[in-house]
Homo-oligomer: A and B are copies of this chain.
């Protein structure tokens, strides 16, 4: 298949592009490079031994995106483009809604116009809000207790895609609810390259390990978990990328949600220790007060994706730390030269 990969230069996009190419698909990347680098694409091309056509455009800018995609054919879209920083979304809600909602609406309009019926959408376990039970399966309530525009924009996009599917029965769409993506390609050539202070745990730990930051702040150690720190379901980005390709290859008419998670919870301190072990570096940390809106534990039930997509995670936290360290230590400043 020829796959339009929106946000294809980002962290998840670059790894997904590589897996798509390795599986014999063609890839066209659409990205505005507002939070990503052309160097990521260059490295994916180098790893895959194949070129990737790139369309530079902001998908949320309808006129611009439609003009930029004129003549660019594709059979399916994997839609990752969007803004993703939770804290920033609270400060800039209108921008987040506009970018995240309009990019999906523009893509759906374009697909409908062209009769492209295959869509894989980058959603998030964030849509589950307050955990009603653990592990969370796909029947867990959505949209209850969401605390930020980022999470709401994912829940709204899911609803928009469901309604688009109800009006357009040929549409085959999957909503992939990511848990916590971590790690990097084992080559260390591509990985997560946050601009500024990392919002996510593992890149922050990696920057502490490599000496770019003094210490990790651990937000709270009074949660009812194994060691009092928050527990999350970390999923290796290569497993996540394979999940996208499995979803793409299993698409049929209708709109279906799948969890992409490992089913295993790890505490912040467990991640710290695993990273120390993988890197041979120490990761100093300080316990600081918990953040408003954080919950004690989030763990996926990945049974549905396991059964229906024939997909499961094959890499654990140790591999994620190893690969994250390979990336961070070889690229202390990410893709910046």
A167/B93 contact (C-beta < 8 A), A101-B101, A102-B102 known: yes
Interface string of A87-124 (1 = CB under 8 A from B): 00011111001100110010011001000000000000
**Oligomer: number of copies:** 2
Output the least CB separation between A246 and chain B (Å): 27
Is A166 located at the chain interface by the 8 A CB criterion? yes
Residues of B near A105 (CB, < 8 A) are 94, 97-98, 101
Segment at the interface with B among A157-165, A189-197, A216-224: A157-165
- A105→B91 CA distance, assembly (Å): 15
Contacts A143-B143, A159-B152 given: A166-B93 contact, CB under 8 Å?
yes
Q: Does A93 lie within 8 Å of B152, measured CB to CB?
A: no
Q: Which of A143, A159, A163 is the most central at the interface, judged by chain B CB atoms within 10 Å of its CB?
A: A163
Residues of A participating in the B interface, judged by any CB pair closer than 8 Å: 63, 90-94, 97-98, 101-102, 105, 108-109, 112, 143, 148-149, 152, 156, 159-160, 163-164, 166-167
* Residue in contact with A160 in the complex, picked from B92, B94, B102, B164, CB distance below 8 Å: B94
A47 to chain B, nearest CB (A): 36
Given A101-B101, A102-B102, A143-B143 in contact, is the A160-B93 Cβ separation under 8 Å? yes
A97 touches B160 (CB 8 A): yes
A143: B residues at CB distance < 8 A? 143
A-B contact pairs, 5 of them (CB 8 A): A63-B63, A91-B167, A93-B160, A94-B105, A101-B101
